[in-house]
Amino acid sequence: MDIKVTPKKPSSATKKTTVAKTTNPKNYPIVEVIWTDAEEIGEVGWNDLKEQLKSAKKTCPTMKSVGYVLHRGDTHISLISTVGADLSSTLEKIPTGFIKEIRELK
């Protein structure tokens, strides 16, 4: 599956690479990832089959994530939304197969 990459400026954006191991946030690319999320619908226990049949036909939700790229490889991209000198937010890993587009912001 080819992922559409929209670079901010001409670059080698289509290459899949691992971001260098550094703690300087200035070295992390900032991107917006547009992706389709997997979804589980229903409550614990029994669910109404007619409602499940209706839900089964609906498309999965399209999500948008923005963050600093810590890793970008063949299987997934890893983002954090907040970074400091020694601390960061939680790590979000999005499987490559879920990704529709990556827009480079910086």
Global pTM reads 0.79
Please give the pLDDT value at position 82. 95
pLDDT at 11: 47
Looking only at the bridges linking them, the beta strands covering 4-6 and 99-104 are parallel
Q: What is the pLDDT of residue 6?
A: 74
Which residues are CB-contacts of 13 (< 8 A; sequence separation ≥ 6)?
5, 6, 7, 102, 104
Mapped onto helix, strand or coil, the DSSP state of residue 70 is strand
Tens of pLDDT along 24-58?
778 899 999 999 999 999 999 999 999 999 999 99
Cα(91)–Cα(32) distance, rounded to whole angstroms? 15
Q: Which of 28, 25, 16, 40 lies closest to 99 in space, CA to CA?
A: 16
Write down the mean pLDDT value for the chain. Answer: 88
pLDDT tens readout for residues 13-26: 445 556 656 777 78
